[in-house]
Structure 1
Amino acid sequence: MLSRRIVRAALAGPGLGCFARLPKRAFCSSIIRLQEQQKQQENQPTPKESQLPPKKRPLSRVAIGGSQDSRKKYRAGSGLEFATWKAVVILLVVGGTGTWYFQREKARLQKQREMESNRKIGRPLIGGPFSLVDTNGEKFTEQDLVDPEGKRWSLIYFGFSLCPDWCPEEIEKMVTTVNNSKEEGIPARAIFISTDHIRDSPETLKRYLAEFDPNVVGLSGSYEAIKHCCKQFRVYFSTPPEIPEDKFFLVDHSLFTYLIDPDGKFVEVFGVETTPEAMTEKIKGFASAFVPIAEREAKQKSWWSKLV
């Protein structure tokens, strides 16, 4: 029915006037729906990337025999989890401890080489057999410098009881160094060898050394015995063999303090400018590196000493 009206209108009227005769209600409602749909689309929020369906990645990025999900699980359980602060702390502690131990062992072996070098030089030049008498009248030889336990160190100084200047200061330095070493857990003792056989009897030395420390070992002897001992340690002294006519004289002598290790071997020599603190530090260094002669010879052939 409607189609006939349209045909008639087309035949009757010119142009597009036929659309004027169409029902307006149906046409307007269609336009309204279209406008509402457009507004709804504009007001609807755009989906986030996380809400979008996952994109398919190239086949080369997916492990053979696995899926994207399994690859994500693998990545979630590894990677940066290892690089935590705990792992960094452990790495620093282990690395620092290893470095510290290696450096300490290297310094200890270097100190051993220094001691061994001094021994090789010192054996033919400094130290050797001698025989003197202590303040109790007992015989004292180079064998008494050896400590059977391999711990005690000895400081030796040559002088005389009537020395007006250097001897008291050097004896004080030895006593202070010995006390400091004992506080560090290193057994040590001071030994004073008189170059004045005329006036320094055992009794005289005992009274003289008691003013500094009763534990100081005092040694004396005949002119020939003292001369031989001084020759072994390369000490110069000017004591006359016989009593001079005026009965008064001063003894000129060397001003060195010798360090002897527990094996009774020469290690180091200290001058008058060396302080007790410096002497103590030297003894600490040598004591930390000291090993008995048998173990020392075995370690010289070890692979570790060659490595460092």
Structure 2
Amino acid sequence: MIRIAAIVAVIVAGVGLLSMFFFADKGGEDKYAECGSGAVAGDLGGPFTLVNGAGETVTSDEVITGPTLIYFGYTYCPDVCPLDVDRNAAAIEILEQRGKMVTPVFITIDPARDTPEVVRDFAEAMHPRMIGLTGSIEQVAAASKAYRTYYKAHPPVDGEYLVDHSTFSYLVTPENGFLEFFRRELTPEQLADKIGCFVDQI
């Protein structure tokens, strides 16, 4: 029994040390605890290379230059995407009125139809500071994989098709990378409050 207790004590101590290392390595994420940061298993987010509305190849370092709210969707989406992106834009406006600047980003998961010009026009219609991004099938897939988003296109019918996809929005910063994801059920005011909490801690 004594030997088992000793082994358990070693395991507990090891877990504690690993936890300390994890939070230290991630830049002290515990400072965001009051913001209700949800636990995410493993790393989420990461570098990507995509194409902006001007047809220029850009990296995540060039896009994420401050607090950034990222959404993966597609411009031909009949209902969910426009509502979600509009909600994000409204939250960005609320934050701006509070003196907090957050950049909204739209990344398509339908690069076959969402050309640079299409994502540019879509993003500009949603918010004047929104960045629209597309890319090759491989570039989009890599960005989606980094954020662990899901998407799957339906078989075309008369040349048209829908794309099933996840609907989270992701808050990231250049200093800390991924901070939090948000569900679509949040109102613009609720989303602004949650994002604002993180921005205040940066």
TM-score under structure 1 normalisation? 0.52
8 Å contact from structure 2 (residues 35, 198) kept in 1: no
Paired amino acid for 1:287: V
Alpha-carbon distance in 1 for matches of 2:170, 2:34: 13
Determine helix, strand or coil for the equivalent of 1:132. Answer: strand
Structure with more helix by fraction: 1
Kindly report the root-mean-square deviation, in angstroms, between the aligned alpha carbons of the 2 structures. 2.8
Paired amino acid for 1:252: D
- What residue ranges of structure 1 are gaps of 5+ in the alignment? 1-108, 291-308
Instruction: Report the CA distance between 1:253 and its aligned residue.
Output: 0.5
Counterpart check, 1:282 vs 2:200: no
Instruction: Report the CA distance between 1:113 and its aligned residue.
Output: 4.8
Which protein, 1 or 2, shows the higher relative CO under an 8 Å CA cutoff with sep ≥ 6?
A: 2
Q: How do 1:150-299 residues align onto structure 2 when only pairs under 5 Å count? A: 152-239=66-153, 246-263=158-175, 265-290=177-202
Aligned to 1:78: none
Alpha-carbon distance in 2 for matches of 1:115, 1:121: 16
When residues 280 and 111 of structure 1 are mapped into structure 2, their CA distance, relative to the original with a 3 A threshold, is farther
Alpha-carbon distance in 1 for matches of 2:118, 2:32: 41
When residues 129 and 115 of structure 1 are mapped into structure 2, their CA distance, relative to the original with a 3 A threshold, is farther
Paired amino acid for 1:260: V
Structure 1 or 2, whichever has the larger Rg, is 1
Paired amino acid for 2:129: N
Paired amino acid for 1:112: K
Alpha-carbon distance in 1 for matches of 2:111, 2:184: 24
Instruction: Report the CA distance between 1:274 and its aligned residue.
Output: 0.9
Aligned to 1:134: 52
TM-score under structure 2 normalisation? 0.77
Alpha-carbon distance in 2 for matches of 1:287, 1:210: 24
Counterpart check, 1:114 vs 2:26: no
Cα-to-partner distance string for 1:139-192 (whole Å, 9 max, x where unaligned) = 222212443xxxx31111111111001111111111111111111111111100
Paired amino acid for 1:125: D
When residues 207 and 289 of structure 1 are mapped into structure 2, their CA distance, relative to the original with a 3 A threshold, is closer
Alpha-carbon distance in 2 for matches of 1:145, 1:224: 19
Alpha-carbon distance in 1 for matches of 2:138, 2:84: 25
When residues 127 and 288 of structure 1 are mapped into structure 2, their CA distance, relative to the original with a 3 A threshold, is same
Q: How do 1:59-70 residues align onto structure 2 when only pairs under 5 Å count? A: none
Instruction: Report the CA distance between 1:264 and its aligned residue.
Output: 5.5
When residues 180 and 207 of structure 1 are mapped into structure 2, their CA distance, relative to the original with a 3 A threshold, is same
Q: How do 1:80-119 residues align onto structure 2 when only pairs under 5 Å count? A: 112-114=31-33
Instruction: Report the CA distance between 1:115 and its aligned residue.
Output: 8.3
Q: Which runs of 4+ in 1 moved over 3 A?
A: 115-122, 243-246
Alpha-carbon distance in 2 for matches of 1:110, 1:236: 26
When residues 194 and 111 of structure 1 are mapped into structure 2, their CA distance, relative to the original with a 3 A threshold, is same
8 Å contact from structure 1 (residues 177, 279) kept in 2: yes
Structure with more strand by fraction: 2
8 Å contact from structure 1 (residues 160, 195) kept in 2: yes
Paired amino acid for 2:87: K
Determine helix, strand or coil for the equivalent of 1:140. Answer: strand
Determine helix, strand or coil for the equivalent of 2:126. Answer: coil
Alpha-carbon distance in 1 for matches of 2:33, 2:181: 13
- What residue ranges of structure 2 are gaps of 5+ in the alignment? 1-27
